[in-house]
Amino acid sequence: MLTAVKEDTHDYRSTPPDYDGLWKNIIQELFQAFMAFFAPDLYPDIDFDKGIDFEGTELLPHILRQAKGKRYTDKLAKVTLKNGENQYVHIHIEVQAVGNKKFARRMFQYFYRIYENHTEPIYAIALLTDASEANYEDQFHDAFYGTEITYRYNTYHFYGKDEEELKQSPNPFALVVLAGIYASKKIKIKDEHKKSKEQKKQEREETKFDHKKILVDLAYEKYRHHPMYLSALLYFIDYIMKLPDELQEQFYESLPIIQNEKEGKNIMGMEKLRDTPTFGRLIREIEEAATKQGLERGMEQGMEQGMEQGMERGMEQGMERGREVGREEGKMEGIEEAERNVAKKLIGRDYSDEEILELTSLELEEIMKLRKSLEH
C-alpha cells in the first residue's frame, strides 16, 4: 500500500479541460475501436492492416476561425477499403453545442472543402456531445428558385443514450461516450430552490466525483489486461472529469489501485499517464517508494558486504601477522638452540658460568640448568 502525499494541483484545476485535444487524442489512438462503435456500417469494409493516414488532416483553419467562440474539433482520416479503394473519414465533434442550422451549414462547408481537394468518397459523422440538448440537425438544405441542395451526414447524439447499456458494451468508446454524458449533462439538485449557490455547486461536484469513480472503476475492470485501451481511457477520464482540490484528494485515496500495490504497478508502463493529475501522481509515488526501498536495500547490502569484506580482510591480515610472528619466533628459537649447544661445549671444557655468560646471550639460570643436566 502506498502512502498518499497531497500534491499542489492548482494548475490542474485552474484551466478548463482541453476538449479539442482530448477528443483528437483518443480518436487517433483508438481509431479502430472508434469506427467499430460509431460507424458500424463502414467498419467491416475497412482494411485496418493497411494503416490509417492522419498526416496533414487538420481541417481548414480559416473555417475554424469563422466559427469563433464555438468549441469543436475535427479529424480527417484516410483509410483503405478491403476492395483496394481509398476513403476519407471526416469526423466532426461538436462539444457543448447544439446541432442547429448553423452547425449543419458548417458540416456542408467542410464537406465541399474536402471534396474539392480530394476525389475519394467522404464519410462524415458528427458527434453531438451535449447530453442535455435534445434537438439536433442531421442535414443541410438550401434552395433558391429551382437551385436546391440537400446534404445529409451521420450523427451520434449523446442525449438520451442508455447509460447502463454503455456500461455493458465491450467497446472502449462506450466509456468515452459515458464520460462525455457525465461531463455535459445538467445535474438535477433536490430542492434546488432552497439551496445556496455554494451548496448547489458542492452537490454537483460531489455527483461528478461519483461519476468519475464509476468510470475509472469500469475502465480498470474491463481493460486491466488491455494496456492501450486502459491508458487512453484513464487519460481521457482524468482530464474531462476535473475535480476541485478536496474531492480530488478523496478520489485519489479511494481508488482500489492505490490500495493494491501490485495492481498499481501495472500502471507503471503507461507513460501516457505520467502527465495526468491522478495517475501521474500514482506513478511518481511508486517510483519514489521504489527508489527509497532501493536505497535502503543498497545500504543494507553495503553494510553486509562491508562486514564480510572486513572479516575476510581481518582474517587475511591475522594470518599474515601470524606467519610473520611464526617466522620471527622460529628464528629466535633457532638462535637460542645454537647458543645452548655452544654453552654445552663450553661446559664440557670446564668454562665457568661467568665465562659462558659473557660468551653467549643466555641467562645465568639457563646456563646452570644446562650444567646440571650434563652432570646427570
Determine the pLDDT at residue 43. 93
Reported in sequence order, the residue ranges of the chain that DSSP labels E, i.e. its strands, are: 72-80, 86-94, 122-128, 139-144, 147-152, 154-157
Percent of the chain with pLDDT over 90: 24
For the residues 183-205, what does the mean pLDDT come to?
77
Question: CA-CA distance, 218 to 216, in Å (whole number)?
Answer: 5
Top pLDDT among 240 and 95 is at 240
The pLDDT confidence band at residue 2, using thresholds 50, 70 and 90, is: very low
Average pLDDT, whole number, for the chain? 77
pLDDT for position 300: 63
pLDDT at residue 215 greater than cutoff 90 = yes
Closest CA to 33 of 157, 174, 221, 222: 174
Q: Residue 220: how many CA atoms within 13 Å on its side-chain side?
A: 17
Q: How far, in Å, CA of 118 to CA of 87, rounded?
A: 10
Examine the pLDDT at 277 and tell me if it is beyond 80: yes
26 pLDDT more than 60: yes
Q: For residue 68, what pLDDT is reported?
A: 45
**pLDDT (0 to 100) of residue 122:** 86
Is the predicted pLDDT of residue 372 greater than 70, yes or no? yes
Query: Residue 248: its pLDDT value, please?
Result: 87
Query: Please, which pLDDT band fits residue 281 given cuts at 50, 70 and 90?
Result: confident
Cα–Cα nearest to 281, from 260, 253, 305, 247: 253
Per the model's pLDDT, the better-predicted residue between 65 and 43 turns out to be 43
**Interacting residues of 223 by C-beta distance below 8 A, sequence separation 6+:** 172, 229, 230, 233
Segment 355-370 mean pLDDT: 78
Residue 165: what pLDDT? 96
19-23, 55-59, 214-218: the lowest-pLDDT one: 55-59
Percent pLDDT > 70 in the chain is 71
Per-residue pLDDT reduced to its tens digit, 286-343: 777 767 766 656 666 655 665 566 556 655 665 566 556 555 555 555 567 777 777 7
Dist. CA 180–CA 174, nearest whole Å:
10
pLDDT value of residue 315: 56
The sheet with strand 72-80 has its strands ordered as 72-80, 86-94, 122-128, 154-157
pTM above 0.75, yes or no: no
Confidence of residue 33 (pLDDT cuts 50, 70, 90): very high
- Cell numbers at 27, concatenated: 480518436
| Amino acid 196: pLDDT | 80
Among 83, 139, 90, 97, smallest CA distance to 111 is for 90
